[in-house]
Amino acid sequence: MRGQHILGLEHMSPADIERVLTTAEEMKKMVGRQKNKKLSVLRGKAIVNVFFENSTRTRSSFELAGKYLGADVINIAASTSSVAKGESLRDTLLTVQAMGIDAIVMRHSAEGAAQYATRYVKAVVINAGDGAHEHPTQGLLDLLTIRQHHGEIAGKKVAIIGDILHSRVARSNVWGLLKMGAEVHLGGPKTLIPKEMVDMGVTIHHRVEDAIADADVVNVLRIQLERQKRGLFPTPREYARIFGINDERLKLAKKNVLVMHPGPMNRGLEISPDVAYGRFSAIEEQVNNGVAVRMAVLSLTLADEECA
């Protein structure tokens, strides 16, 4: 995978997905057992995180991942860059490229922005989220979390609940889960689940109870209130009553169900506090796995020698 762009899971092979997950497991063990977490895998490499949208988890975990591997990491936020003065995306990319960097980790509000970046830079481009298109490392860390809890992904029923329409996380999860042999069910209001997602090979439910019945995993997505248009659902209270994941609804899933959420959470809206912080929740573990997965992706695409 050396030199390969990571733009999405739609076009990533099952073999490459498996390789990332296996490497992430090794990275997690390696960092966990060392007092000094800094490795030398990427010593001498330069990574720039260019975020045109706000982020806490993704940007921080990419920064930690790069530093744990020994790389030099620089963060650029649109609000403090020349973008605020009107600089184009192309010129920003060319400027960053001219600094001699090895990888660009990029988040942008426009679908296809990461693909666009590959036209102008020689560095490895890693998509940290492009509009409602994909968020590949989130999909990979979710796969890793499922595998750690259930031992395998193939044959598991995974219910993804919530705002599918605006979710890049949902799309990366669907592609990754299907390639690894899982059965994927989507649940939520008709207005928040695009009909064309049926063509991806998923089952769509508009009763949340049907989606999570006998599920091994329930992945709850944030209702993206900042992207909502009027009329997609009546009120937040009504959404929580009809579609929110609470203790009562969770009883319909399997007894060892795994509950996930990519964060940040709207507690009391798409997920109740009791479920978010309950014994089935792996939300904090997802954050921990995010660092391991991003270490794996960076090492596999940038390291001069094979990592795992």
Catalytic site positions = 57-58, 85, 107, 135
Gap between the Cα atoms of 295 and 291, Å rounded: 6
Residue 100 is assigned to a ligand binding site = no
DSSP annotation string for 27-56: HHHHHHT-SS---STTTT-EEEEEESS--S
H-state helical runs in the chain: 14-32, 57-68, 89-98, 113-117, 136-150, 168-179, 208-212, 236-243, 247-250, 273-276, 283-302
SS3 of residue 260 by DSSP: strand
Find out whether 194 is annotated in a ligand binding site. Answer: no
Give Cα 70 to chain centroid, integer Å: 23
Taking residue 214's Cβ as centre, other Cβ atoms within 10 Å add up to: 11
> Is residue 138 part of an annotated ligand binding site?
yes
> Which residues lie closer than 8 Å to 202 by C-beta, 6 or more apart?
174, 178, 184, 185, 186
Is 190 assigned to a binding site?
no
Q: Residue 151 CB: number of other CB atoms within 10 A?
A: 8
Instruction: Please tell me whether 229 is known to bind a ligand.
Output: no
φ, ψ for residue 158 (rounded to 5)?
A: -115, 120
Shortest CA distance to 203 belongs to which of 158, 142, 144, 257?
158
Give 248's contacts (C-beta < 8 A, 6+ positions apart): none
264 is in an annotated binding site: yes
158 three-state secondary structure = strand
Binding-site residues from annotation for carbamoyl phosphate: 57-58, 107, 135, 138, 263-264
Binding-site residues from annotation: 57-58, 85, 107, 135, 138, 168, 222, 263-264
